[in-house]
């Protein structure tokens, strides 16, 4: 009797309608769109890669989509070690190490100040904090070109124009509005009871920040690192204006290589140098893309 009852209940729970179609018109259309979009974005990358692996004798034939007949990595070695940027023929590696020296302190300082400012504006709201936050956000939407001449005059007067300190300060200043927005919204989304409990336990401004808020900020710190690394690494304008000749970042060096007017246009070397310049942002996105989504979902756009 029990077995019959179980069989009847199992039969009642089984779906009785028609099976859903695996391929519908909507799904086919979605797949077609995704394939076209992927081809649209990946085709230039394919052309760059195959061109960078061809000798110039094949490139002159004009078959940009064909695979190399004689594969070579010589353009990559030349782009890294001996490509000329003006009178200097040290390759793109000079700009790479300059970009690293610019990137590391700029990312650390801008994220730390942004986290501290967002923490103060969200949990220690003083009189006028909303006005200060509005002023900071205004700086994120004004064109950068508006600030270049005043900053050049200020940096020249204090002696940091054309130095590593000048370019680091510039990236820190212009990264502060976005970093403050991210951390303020993230801290505002946290339960206020945690902050109040820390105050009751005798925690002060710095103790709560370092012992409570920063350990809980891993998701949004990852988002901030991704945004700052890609933004600072891809920067050209600030690098060419504020870095000085001895500290030109990789993007400026790439421009000098590609736009060189000396001798033959080496398209394979130019393509290899372009890919080398884009490697760091690509690696950051591929490695930490899922963490970026998690950080956004954890409160980066709440508030």
| pLDDT of res. 59 | 87
Tokens 């421009």, residue? 255
- From first to last of the 303 residues of the chain, give the pLDDT tens digit: 445 444 544 455 555 555 655 667 778 888 889 999 988 888 888 999 999 999 988 888 888 888 888 888 998 999 898 887 767 778 888 889 999 999 999 999 999 999 998 888 888 777 767 777 777 777 777 788 888 889 999 999 998 998 999 999 999 999 988 898 889 888 888 888 888 888 888 888 888 889 888 888 888 898 899 889 999 999 999 999 998 888 889 999 888 888 875 667 888 888 999 999 989 888 887 887 676 666 666 554 444
- DSSP conformation letters of 179-224: HHHHHHHHHHHS-HHHHHHHHHTT--HHHHIIIIIGGG-HHHHHHH
* DSSP assignment letter at 64: T
The tokens of 291 are what? Answer: 């963490």
Residue 187 and residue 117 in contact, taking contact as beta carbons nearer than 8 Å: no
**147 SS3 class:** helix
Please name each of the domains of the chain with its CATH number. Answer: 25-72 (no CATH), 93-300 (1.10.3720.10)
Tokens 């105050």, residue? 199
| pLDDT of res. 65 | 86
């Amino acid at each position: 009797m029990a077995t019959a009852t179980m069989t009847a209940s199992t039969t009642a729970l089984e779906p009785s309608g028609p099976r859903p179609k695996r391929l519908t018109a909507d799904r086919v259309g979605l797949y077609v769109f995704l394939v076209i979009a992927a081809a649209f974005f990946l085709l230039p990358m394919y052309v760059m890669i195959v061109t960078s692996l061809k000798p110039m004798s094949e490139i002159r034939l004009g078959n940009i989509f064909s695979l190399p007949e004689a594969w070579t990595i010589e353009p990559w070695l030349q782009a890294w070690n001996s490509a000329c940027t003006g009178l200097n023929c040290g390759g793109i590696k000079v700009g790479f190490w300059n970009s690293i020296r610019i990137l590391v302190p700029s990312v650390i300082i801008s994220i730390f100040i942004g986290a501290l400012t967002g923490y103060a504006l969200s949990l220690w709201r003083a009189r006028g904090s909303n006005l200060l936050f509005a002023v900071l956000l205004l700086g994120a939407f004004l064109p950068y070109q508006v600030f270049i001449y005043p900053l050049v005059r200020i940096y020249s007067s204090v002696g940091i124009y054309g130095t590593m300190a000048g370019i680091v300060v510039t990236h820190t200043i212009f990264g502060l509005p976005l970093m403050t927005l991210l951390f303020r919204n993230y801290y505002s989304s946290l339960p206020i009871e945690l902050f109040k409990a820390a105050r009751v336990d005798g925690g002060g401004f710095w103790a709560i920040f370092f012992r409570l808020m920063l350990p809980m900020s891993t998701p949004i710190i990852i988002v901030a690192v991704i945004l700052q690394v890609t933004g600072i690494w891809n920067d050209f304008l600030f690098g060419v204006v504020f870095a000085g000749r001895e500290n030109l970042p990789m993007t400026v060096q790439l421009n000098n290589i590609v736009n060189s007017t000396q001798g033959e246009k080496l398209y394979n070397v130019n393509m290899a140098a372009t890919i080398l310049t884009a490697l760091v942002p690509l690696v950051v996105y591929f490695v930490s893309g899922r963490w970026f989504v998690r950080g956004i979902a954890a409160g980066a756009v709440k508030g």
